[in-house]
Chains A and B, each alone.
Chain A
């Protein structure tokens, strides 16, 4: 378990050095997108550059320009878009609950931010811009400047290891005992 302090945009070398179980603190631009923003990106393209980007599955609570609470949302709902956002250059997806690991192989990582920790996350994020505001606060695509955003756990790495899958398998084994 190694601790990393990284900055976006992420390089493929950044991604390669991360192993499942490592802890990451991320600085630089990250952007939020949930269900509806993914539909819009599919239809109209992304309003920002995705090369080396970190995509945060989050529906934040924001007043004016201040982030009040901004923990992760369940990534599983966006699983159908993983392949296309990674193909467009995203190198890290941040969320909770995990995503199927196959699309991450050799190109990206899944970082787990502790769920429910919205107040702590808000203090590490600054609003830099917003797109698709017609979707409402939670579903808009927010651009944040992250300041040592973490602790995040590398839950799916680019080498084929997936902590959620391992935990699920061992739970299944425990059940049949």
Chain B
């Protein structure tokens, strides 16, 4: 079983790094067909071309092959007699040398690179227990360009969270490789809001009236692909909420670049 987890991890990373989920490609294609700014349209078309080249050559779409982040959904009836963290880490090490991935993880203080994309806290595994026996492993390699622009705001309860989101995106989008996907967490605590935002990226895209309204307001900013202007600033967003303290309003925005990479492997 441990071997199967390791192999599934390698396969999920290979898939995630070299091709995009079909729904992501569809969003970019739709945006390219609707975009009225010629420079923006040519950017979107070049992005699509880049994904095709990556697929053909089994090349990583982006040289920033990301931090190893995984969402694991584990059946309650399954018992593991090994460390899931260690097995997935082993898969990350193998993927780093075989795909290959750029060695990205470093000690935060000494900046020394482990060379294999693992280290204390890495890979980061977000674990849910679900009904049944299957083990579902989804790789979400996360690039630093978009992650660096992410923000948690501890707002005043009287503040408007949507104003905060608009202001943050307008100031930071250009550095995060737009057009973007946004995971938004509203409520909870300082750290829960951030985790809600990360989980929102797993449950993308949202279609509630509030989400569609926010999407429209963000695209009206005209920031466009790579921050050089255009109709397409945000390709999708999802809002996750939790109850918070009556005196608090935490709002977290997790930026995700256009290359919204993920791939799932299921072990039955």
Contact = CB atoms under 8 A, between A and B. Distances in A.
B239 interface: no
Interface in A92-129: 96-98, 112, 114-123
A163 interface: yes
Nearest to B17: A69
A1 B60 CA distance: 31
B175 interface: yes
A164 B229 CA distance: 8
Given A115-B145, A118-B62, A123-B53, A61 B224 contact: no
Contacts of B49: 120
Given A119-B54, A167-B228, A153 B39 contact: yes
Nearest to A36: B111
B236 to A, nearest CB: 16
A174 B63 contact: no
B13 to A, nearest CB: 14
Given A114-B226, A119-B53, A70 B63 contact: yes
Interface string B198-230: 000000000000000000000011111111110
Given A115-B257, A138-B103, A69 B60 contact: yes
A52 interface: no
B59 A167 contact: no
A60 B63 contact: yes
B174 A97 contact: yes
Given A119-B50, A120-B49, A138-B103, A171 B59 contact: no
Nearest to A76: B175
B175 A120 contact: no
B63 A59 contact: yes
Interface string B130-148: 0000000000000111001
A138 B102 CA distance: 7
A170 B170 CA distance: 10
Nearest to B115: A136
B96 to A, nearest CB: 11
A137 interface: yes
Interface string B40-80: 00110011011101100101111111000000000000000
Contact of A68 (B60, B103, B166, B175): B60
A175 B221 contact: yes
B170 A172 contact: yes
Contact of A59 (B42, B64, B177): B64
For the complex of A and B, the 4 pairs showing the least CB-CB separation, nearest first, are: A119-B54, A115-B177, A97-B175, A69-B63
30 contacts: A60-B102, A61-B60, A69-B60, A69-B63, A69-B65, A71-B63, A71-B64, A73-B145, A74-B145, A96-B145, A96-B226, A97-B226, A114-B50, A116-B50, A119-B50, A120-B46, A122-B63, A136-B103, A138-B103, A151-B42, A151-B46, A153-B39, A153-B228, A163-B228, A168-B171, A174-B220, A174-B222, A175-B167, A175-B170, A175-B221
Interface of B: 38-39, 42-43, 46-47, 49-51, 53-54, 57, 59-65, 100-104, 111, 113, 115, 143-145, 148, 166-167, 170-171, 174-177, 220-229, 257-259
Interface of A: 1, 21, 36, 58-61, 63, 68-71, 73-74, 76, 96-98, 112, 114-123, 136-138, 151, 153, 155, 163-164, 166-168, 170-172, 174-175
